[in-house]
Amino acid sequence: GDSVTQMEGPVTLSEEAFLTINCTYTATGYPSLFWYVQYPGEGLQLLLKATKADDKGSNKGFEATYRKETTSFHLEKGSVQVSDSAVYFCALRGSGGGGNKLTFGTGTQLKVEL
């Protein structure tokens, strides 16, 4: 079945550092890929998405490129801020018969310090 693998956290960075959170997936066909962010005590917010190979999703300085050849969707940001501290989830929606269900990775906690 479909699966998503994320790098384990927590990831601790200094403000203005470069961020990469790795995400790889296993799925048949052509899934849609998503990054969600969860701030403490809150639900998930859609951060960005990509629906086909080589698409780049971007939002709030974050970017991720759908790489079918490496089955990856790594999240990057050039300069993180303390306000980016949160848990980041990579997810996919399969193109098969699973309907509109999302398969999530385990989440990566990011801590940004001054």
- DSSP code per residue over the chain: --EEEE--S-EEEETT--EEE-EEEE-SS--EEEEEEE-TTS-EEEEEEE-STT-EEEETTEEEE-BTTTTB--EEESS--GGG-EEEEEEEE-SSSSTT-EEE---EEEEEE-
Among 93, 94, 110, 112, binds another protein (CB under 8 A): 93
Positions 63 through 92 that interact with another protein (CB under 8 A): 89
- Pick the piece of the chain touching another protein (CB under 8 A) from 17-25, 59-67, 71-79, 106-114: 106-114
User: Which CB atom, from 17 or from 111, has the smaller least distance to another protein?
Assistant: 111
Binding footprint of another protein, residue count (CB under 8 A)? 22
C-alpha 56: how far from its chain's center? 12
User: Which CB atom, from 16 or from 56, has the smaller least distance to another protein?
Assistant: 56
- My answer on whether omega of the bond before 10 falls inside 30° of 0, hence cis, is yes
Among 1, 29, 40, 42, binds another protein (CB under 8 A): 42
Task: Provide the minimum distance between the beta carbon of 16 and another protein in the complex, in angstroms, as a whole number.
Answer: 27
Binding site for another protein (CB under 8 A): 32, 34, 36, 41-46, 49, 51, 89, 93, 99-102, 104-107, 109
